[in-house]
């Protein structure tokens, strides 16, 4: 459901559309009646079991942020922000790391694959005293690659699995048990203190790495302010047109910008396809990348598809499309060039993952137009009322170790993970993210800057296997860091935890087809090809073909395991 335009190097995970993970429950499926899905796997855990495998949290004291984290509602918090890189990086790892082992890893990469055996890999391998060979795979087709690997059983030593790819893998919960190492004996409780940098990853991240009551996943890019994304605008074009972005506080006011910002002769359109990013604006229950559940006034579980706001949202999106204010290429489904359109000023308002707001984006944008400036709309609700922002699990991506590894190998890899997870501002962080000073990066007053060699070889590869808690940092672009930190500090105030928050649930497979079919109709309505009335009949089909089964399934989950709130 999430469009690929959400993914941007570093904070790739934030854009995720995901079906979270793994309560694949035999008793629940049996209760559904039409149990076509494999019912061989059970392994549902109650909260106490989960608590018993969660590692102890011990915050790192290595560095103090320039803009501290802001506490928000419902446990949300903004990421700490740094304007400059600490002058004297501390050391966070003592003693030897690897013991000379050789390991194969596979990670997703949105961008071109760097040459194997390059100077960055060499620098990290030297530092960790082992040989990690990463084979990055295209992030946009990663799910297909994973599904094939799971079907064939060809699993590398260390594998990155983004949460939003899990739904593409048949019965992932069963696969986790079959292919991955249970890390609970190595990390549960105080055992993690052997790996202090892993212990500094907040509990919320580890929680989401629990499958079938055992700790499997090493959480990546952990943050207490993980959101589906936000709506962006071209601040320079707004300024030139004399529009004040802070006046946009409702869907109607947003829509009113349509004719003002559309100039077809110039090839400029007001909107990109805003896709599921609109769910937040219309207060539609949204959980981890797809519509979520809530209880209506009678106490019945209703899906996001079924709430009246969903129709409002479709009406809104449909009217933007049919009024001719959405870029035609976006309506033609070309989401891969959404960023290029925004950079070139062909669209003025877009929606994207939080990760899109970074220095690389600014570099690409100013290349197309020197005045380029990306800014985010403050969170608002469609009716001008109280806004709400669904919180994602603290981690959306995880890395897993192969089950075939021996205990000693697992410990070596965990020590390596501990190294890669070094918090921002430490020496190990510099090596893990930037390689070797003088070879791949130069140290400036504001922080490390990749040199030509670095730009070629340093990209998100090894740091997709383990990394520390998220921070906001854009070397040399202090204003951007301040803007983003301010946006996040505001957004966390409106955060709420959707029902079944951070519970790893594998939905019954036979419901998937109904959802796939309904999503196709939603796209048609959003793009202006079908009418909102068509959606209503499609919704009835969805309910009969799978929606009601899902409802019963989730009622069962709620009864047995709670709602995660």
Residues that bind another protein (CB under 8 A): 1-4, 17, 19, 36, 38, 40, 140-141, 143-144, 147, 150-151, 165, 167-171, 174-175, 178, 264-265, 267, 269, 290, 324, 327-329, 331-335, 346, 507, 509-513, 515-517, 519-521, 523-524, 527, 529-530, 541
Nearer to another protein, 322 or 375 (CB): 322
Q: Which residues contact 64 (CB under 8 A, 6 or more apart)?
A: none
CB of 240 or CB of 332, closer to another protein: 332
Measure the CA–CA gap between 108 and 106, rounded to whole angstroms: 7
Looking at the Cβ atoms of 31 and 147, the one nearer to another protein is 147
* Vertex 359: Cα angle to 145 and 84 (nearest 5): 120
Q: How far is the CB of 327 from another protein (least distance, A)?
A: 6
The CB density around residue 227, as the number of other CB atoms within 10 Å, is 23
Smallest separation, CB 524 to another protein (Å) = 4
Distance CA 390, CA 382 (A): 15
Question: Where does residue 153 rank: exposed (0-12), middle (13-18), buried (19+ CB within 10 A)?
Answer: exposed
CB of 546 to another protein, least distance (A): 9
Listed in sequence order, the residues at least 6 apart from 507 whose beta carbon sits closer than 8 Å to its beta carbon are 19, 167, 550, 553
Tell me the C-alpha to C-alpha distance, in Å, between residue 462 and each of 53, 131, 430, 471, 489. Answer: 26, 11, 13, 18, 30
Measured from the CB atom, is 207 or 464 closer to another protein?
464
157, 413 Cβ separation under 8 angstroms = yes
Give the burial string for 239-277 (b: 16+ CB within 10 Å, else e): eeeebebeebbbbeebbebbeebbeeeeebbbbbbbbbb
Q: Closest CB to another protein among 519 and 555?
A: 519
Shortest approach of another protein to residue 174 CB, angstroms? Answer: 5
Is 554 within 8 Å of 301 (Cβ atoms)? yes
Least Å distance, CB 504 to another protein, is 15
In whole angstroms, the minimum distance from the beta carbon of 21 to another protein comes to: 13
Burial 282-293 (b: 16+ CB within 10 A, else e): bbbbbbbbbbbb
Q: Report how far residue 110's alpha carbon sits from residue 368's, in angstroms, rounded to the nearest whole number.
A: 21
Query: Shortest CA distance to 519 belongs to which of 289, 362, 236?
Result: 289
Nearer to another protein, 102 or 140 (CB): 140
CB of 282 to another protein, least distance (A): 19
SS3 of residue 557 by DSSP: helix
Separation between Cα atoms, residue 248 and residue 9, nearest integer Å: 29
Contact criterion met (CB below 8 Å) for 331 and 528: yes
Closer of 265 and 299 to another protein (Cβ): 265
User: Residue with structure tokens 């790192």?
Assistant: 60
Identify which of residues 237 and 420 has a Cβ nearer to another protein in the complex. Answer: 237
> CB of 334: closest distance to another protein in angstroms?
7
CA distance 291 to 306: 10
Closer to another protein at the Cβ: 61 or 516? 516
d(CA 94, CA 341): 48
Q: Which is nearer to another protein, 3 or 60 (CB)?
A: 3
Q: Which of 54, 49, 47 is nearest to 190 (CA)?
A: 54
The answer to whether residues 137 and 149 touch, using CB atoms and an 8 Å cutoff, is no
Q: Which is nearer to another protein, 436 or 551 (CB)?
A: 551
Smallest separation, CB 418 to another protein (Å): 31
In the complex with another protein, which residue's Cβ is closer, 112 or 152?
152
Q: Residue 33 or residue 370: which is nearer to another protein going by CB?
A: 33
Sign of CA dihedral 493, 499, 501, 506: negative
């Amino acid at each position: 459901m999430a469009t690929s335009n959400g993914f941007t190097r570093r904070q790739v995970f934030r854009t995720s559309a995901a079906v979270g993970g793994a309560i694949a429950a035999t008793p629940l499926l049996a209760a559904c009646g039409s149990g076509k899905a494999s019912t061989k796997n059970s392994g549902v855990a109650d909260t106490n079991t989960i608590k018993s495998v969660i590692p102890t949290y011990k915050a790192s004291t290595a560095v103090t942020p320039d803009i501290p984290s802001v506490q928000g509602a419902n446990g949300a918090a903004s990421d700490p922000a740094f304007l400059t890189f600490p002058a004297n990086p501390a050391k966070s790892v003592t003693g030897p790391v690897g013991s000379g082992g050789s390991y194969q890893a596979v990670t997703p990469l949105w961008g071109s694959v760097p040459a194997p055996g390059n100077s960055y890999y060499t620098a990290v391998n030297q530092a960790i005293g082992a040989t990690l060979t990463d084979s990055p795979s295209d992030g946009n087709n990663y799910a297909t690659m994973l599904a094939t690997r799971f079907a064939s059983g060809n699993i590398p030593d260390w594998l990155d699995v983004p949460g939003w790819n899990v739904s593409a893998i048949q019965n992932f919960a069963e696969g986790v048990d079959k292919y991955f190492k249970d890390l609970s004996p190595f990390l549960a409780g105080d055992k993690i203190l052997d790996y202090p940098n892993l212990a500094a990853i907040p509990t919320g991240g580890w929680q989401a790495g629990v499958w079938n009551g055992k700790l499997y996943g090493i959480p990546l890019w952990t943050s207490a302010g993980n959101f589906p994304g936000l709506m962006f605008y071209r601040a320079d074009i707004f300024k030139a047109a004399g529009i004040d972005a802070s006046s946009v506080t409702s869907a109607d006011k947003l829509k009113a910008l349509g004719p003002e910002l559309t100039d077809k002769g110039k090839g400029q359109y007001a909107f990109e396809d805003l896709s599921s990013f609109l769910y937040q604006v219309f207060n539609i229950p949204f959980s981890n990348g797809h519509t979520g559940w809530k209880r209506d006034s009678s106490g019945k579980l209703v899906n996001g598809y079924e709430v009246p706001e969903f129709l409002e949202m479709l009406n809104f999106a449909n009217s933007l499309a049919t009024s001719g204010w959405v870029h035609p290429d976006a309506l033609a489904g070309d989401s891969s060039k959404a960023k290029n359109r925004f950079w070139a000023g062909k669209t003025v308002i877009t929606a994207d993952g939080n990760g899109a707001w970074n220095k690389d984006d600014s570099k690409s944008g100013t290349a197309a137009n020197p005045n380029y400036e990306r800014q985010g709309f403050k969170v608002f609700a469609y009716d001008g009322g109280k806004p709400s922002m669904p919180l994602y699990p603290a981690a959306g991506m995880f890395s897993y170790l192969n089950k075939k590894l021996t205990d000693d190998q697992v410990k070596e890899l965990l020590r390596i993970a501990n190294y890669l997870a070094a918090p921002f501002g430490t020496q190990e962080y510099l090596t893990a993210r930037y390689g070797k000073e003088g070879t791949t990066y130069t140290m400036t007053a504001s922080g490390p800057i990749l040199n030509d060699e670095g730009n070629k070889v340093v990209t998100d590869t090894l740091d997709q296997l383990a990394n520390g808690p998220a921070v906001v940092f854009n070397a040399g672009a202090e204003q951007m860091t301040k803007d983003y930190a301010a946006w996040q500090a505001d957004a966390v105030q409106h955060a709420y935890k959707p029902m079944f928050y951070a519970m790893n649930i594998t939905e019954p497979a036979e419901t998937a087809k109904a959802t796939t079919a309904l999503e196709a109709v939603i796209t048609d309505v959003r793009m202006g090809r079908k009418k909102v009335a068509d959606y209503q009949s499609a919704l009835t089909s969805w309910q009969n073909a799978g929606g009601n089964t899902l409802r019963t399934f989730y009622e069962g989950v709620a009864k047995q395991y709670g709602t995660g709130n």
